[in-house]
Amino acid sequence: MKVLVTGGSGFIGTRLIDELLKAGHEVKIFDKRDSKKYPNLVILGDVRDKEALIKASRGMDVIYNLAAEHADNVTPISLYEEVNVGGAENVVEAADANGIKKIIFTSSVAIYGLNRGEPDESFEPMPFNEYGRTKYEAEKVFLKWLEKDEGRSLVIIRPSVIFGENNRGNVYNLMRQIYLDKFIMVGSGENKKSMGYVGNIAKLLLDMIDAKEGLTLYNFADKPDLKGIEIVNIIRSEMKKGEIKFKIPYFIGLLGGYAFDLASKITGKKFPISSIRIKKFAADTTISTKRLQESGFKPPYSLEEGLRRMVRSEFLEKNNIN
């Protein structure tokens, strides 16, 4: 198939393109950034530019929409709406203009909010931030597109936190703090986290290219879920450090997060610690993946294996530590 991947120069996109090319598909990347690995496949552009997206989509059979504003501290905050919702509107315009009948969209479990137990795909969305809200609004845009033609196919994947080699998100920041002996455990660590390894979601997204007409909707995470303290200790184990011994109460850690929020507001600098990151780290953020498991999908890697692979790649091999 001929495939366009918006946001294909990014972390997940690059791994997805690895899989698509291995499977023999013809791929183009539409991204505002060049691709370090696949520069010859890139059409430079922004999903907010409808005409550029329509042009890039000509002749394509499927669009993967991975482009998003997703960081915790995006400024201005209006970018969430412009990129996540406006970008979705432009993707469906591009699909309509070019007769494309299949869209595969990476949404987010952020639409469910925090401390919801194990929400499955039927749970009412209760997003707690602009990222989650705009991802949910983007889903609505794609669902309206799907309803207009019975021959259309829409896949929505709601991933949990995704980590892996070459990622610079919250899991990388956690690993880096542990590596530098700057990590302080906030809270008991008994809270459970649903997470996913990039090699596994890339395989799932590849498989979805064969989805049938209608809606396919899955939560994605690698099971079983791990406790916060288990995640920390797996990382420490791979780094040949002992298990965590010292913890501080959650409320003290949260006060520290607010202090960094204030410092960021005053100085204009962005810090690795913030109140929202403290809240997310100490919260139960779990989801049900029963529907995905029942589909027969088999992830290539276990969750622990994915964590250890990332530690080795980012902190041991690159720093020549045995």
3-state secondary structure at position 3:
strand
- Residue 192: burial class (beta carbons within 10 Å; 0-12, 13-18, 19+): middle
Per-residue burial over 220-258, b = 16 or more CB atoms within 10 Å of its CB, e = otherwise: bbbbebbebbbbbbbbbebbeeeebeeeeebeebbebbe
Query: Of residues 38, 64, 131, 136, which has the active-site annotation?
Result: 131
Contact (Cβ atoms closer than 8 angstroms) between residue 126 and residue 271: no
Does residue 179 have an active-site annotation? no
* H-run or E-run covering 188: none
- Asked if residue 164 lies in contact with residue 198, where contact means CB atoms within 8 angstroms, the answer is yes
Cβ partners under 8 Å of residue 2, min gap 6: 25, 26, 28, 59, 60, 61, 62
Task: Give me the sheet containing 102-106, strands edge to edge.
Answer: 42-44, 26-31, 2-6, 62-65, 102-106, 153-159, 214-220
Task: Pull the structure tokens for residue 133.
Answer: 């809200």
Closest to 62 measured CA to CA, from 122, 128, 137, 2? 2
**How are beta strands 185-186 and 247-248 bridged, if at all?**
parallel
Sign of CA dihedral 9, 204, 210, 109: negative
Contact of 139 with 215, CB cutoff 8 Å? no
CA distance 213 to 267: 51
Residues 6 or more apart from 304 whose CB is under 8 A from it?
226, 234
Active site residues: 131
